[in-house]
Amino acid sequence: PALAIINELRSRAAMRSFGPFALDVLYARAKAKMWAKTERLKALPGIRISDFGTRRRHSFLWQRWCVEALKEGIGDAFTGTSNVLLAMDNDLEALGTNAHELPMVFGALANSEEELRQSPYKVLQDWQRYYGGNLLIVLPDAFGTDSFLREAPDWVADWTGFRPDSAPPIEGGEKIIDWWRKRGKDPKQKLLIFSDGLEVETIEETYRHFRGKVRMSFGWGTNLTNDFEGCAPTETDSLDAISLVCKVTEANGRPAVKLSDNPAKATGDEKEIKRYLRIFGEKGRVEQLVKV
């Protein structure tokens, strides 16, 4: 909730000087912008979209409008939302996956380098004791996707799918498909969930690339629920989305680290980051601009 609160307070502060007509123009333009995206998505047969935009939304009321717009605009292609209240209010499924915080904590609590190497898989072992089906989605990039796939036990390939979060979507998706094939799995029976800073153009490109190769879904976040760039009647960047995260800093007094496939998204103590890189390696990490 902290990120959603911070973003909404920021939005309110940015609009404090707006009069009634300026607010009308702002929201009219934002609605038209959002609806134009909806029409583009509607043209993609079989696409599956879910709302992952709670943390970085412009406001709660705006997120509700976006959810209702998608429900009407793309119908059954809109599969649900990560916001449990909005899911309940709109008769939608509450959707989501596990998060980076889990392997970050398990890694911080590791008592040896070998325990640290095994921590991403220990998370999955514990997770599958409680959850199954569509909740068996691997988030592989906390300490780098290449390292995760290289050391992953064969039973990980039995999980429903992967969420390639911080790698470029096509490159990351192809890497996972290749890993499945090497383990005798049919990618067409598997699921990829793309969710990292998605814009409608990225969704279209990724959909067209993977259509017919694998089942896929898109968790659409900031650019769904907080795209007000260019919508204000006067020139301002105060309503543009910002890069804002909330990660674990320590567990039981030990520093926690996230490496990511994008070095710009790494978090944690610099000395610990270097130690983790020595253990997990840097292969596959690609510097990308972080917009949100």
167 located within any domain: yes
| Farthest-apart Cα atoms in the chain, separation | 61
Number of H helices, E strands in the chain: 11, 9
147 located within any domain: yes
CATH number of the domain encompassing residue 217: 3.20.140.10
258 located within any domain: yes
- Which H, E and C letters describe 11-35, residue by residue? HHHHCCCCCHHHHHHHHHHHHHHHH
- Let me know if 33 is exposed, middle or buried by CB neighbors in 10 A (0-12, 13-18, 19+): middle
Identify the CA nearest to 233 among candidates 47, 7, 18.
18
The total of structural domains in the chain comes to 1
223: left (phi over 0), alpha (psi -120 to 50) or beta: alpha
137 located within any domain: yes
250: which DSSP letter?
A: E
Let me know the angle formed at the C-alpha of 197 by 242 and 201, rounded to the nearest 5 degrees.
Answer: 120
Which residues, other chains included, contact 233 with Cβ-Cβ below 8 Å and sequence gap of 6+? 21, 22, 25, 26
65 located within any domain: yes
At residue 240, φ and ψ (nearest 5 deg) are -70, 145
292 located within any domain: no
C-alpha to C-alpha distance for 165 and 139, rounded to whole angstroms? 7
Question: Which two tokens mark 185?
Answer: 């799995």
| pLDDT per position as a tens digit, 231-286 | 999 999 999 999 888 999 999 999 999 999 999 999 999 999 999 999 999 998 88
Q: What is the pLDDT tens value at each position of the chain, 292 positions in all?
A: 899 999 999 999 999 999 999 999 999 999 999 999 999 999 999 999 999 999 999 999 999 999 999 999 999 999 999 999 999 999 999 999 999 999 999 999 999 999 999 999 999 999 999 999 999 999 999 999 999 999 999 999 999 999 998 889 999 999 999 999 999 999 999 999 999 889 999 999 999 999 999 999 999 999 999 999 999 999 999 999 998 889 999 999 999 999 999 999 999 999 999 999 999 999 988 887 776 6
287 located within any domain: no
C-alpha to C-alpha distance for 263 and 214, rounded to whole angstroms? 28
pTM score of the predicted model: 0.94
285 located within any domain: no
C-alpha to C-alpha distance for 261 and 258, rounded to whole angstroms? 10
Residue 162 belongs to what domain range?
2-280
Q: Do 268 and 275 form a contact (C-beta atoms < 8 A)?
A: no
